[in-house]
């Protein structure tokens, strides 16, 4: 397989790069970890007690609303 334009030197594309967006890194969030904990409690409650399921469901709802709120607030 031959190159059509021949070999390229590293300086050929100099200055043609676009800036990565977003330029600032968003702050960390604990919502995914609490969502995983909520799912774990919900499933653990299925085999043990409905109290764990209720706590897991509440934790899922709160963490999803927090996570979505952080995503919408960042825009």
- The pLDDT-based confidence of 18 (bands split at 50, 70, 90) is confident
Residue spans of the domains in the chain: they are: 35-75
Task: Indicate the DSSP class of residue 15.
Answer: T
Q: What is the pLDDT of residues 31-56, one digit of tens each?
A: 999 999 999 999 999 999 999 999 99
Is the backbone peptide bond immediately before 65 cis, with ω within 30 degrees of 0?
Answer: no
* Cβ–Cβ under 8 Å, residues 46 and 53: yes
Averaged pLDDT for residues 56-65 = 98
């Amino acid at each position: 397989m031959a190159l059509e334009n021949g070999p390229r030197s590293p300086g050929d594309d100099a200055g043609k790069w676009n800036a990565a967006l977003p330029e600032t890194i968003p702050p960390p969030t604990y919502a995914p970890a609490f969502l995983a904990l909520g799912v774990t409690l919900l499933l653990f409650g299925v085999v043990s007690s409905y109290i764990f399921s209720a706590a897991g469901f509440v934790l899922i709802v709160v963490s999803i609303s927090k996570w979505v709120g952080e995503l919408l607030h960042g825009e």
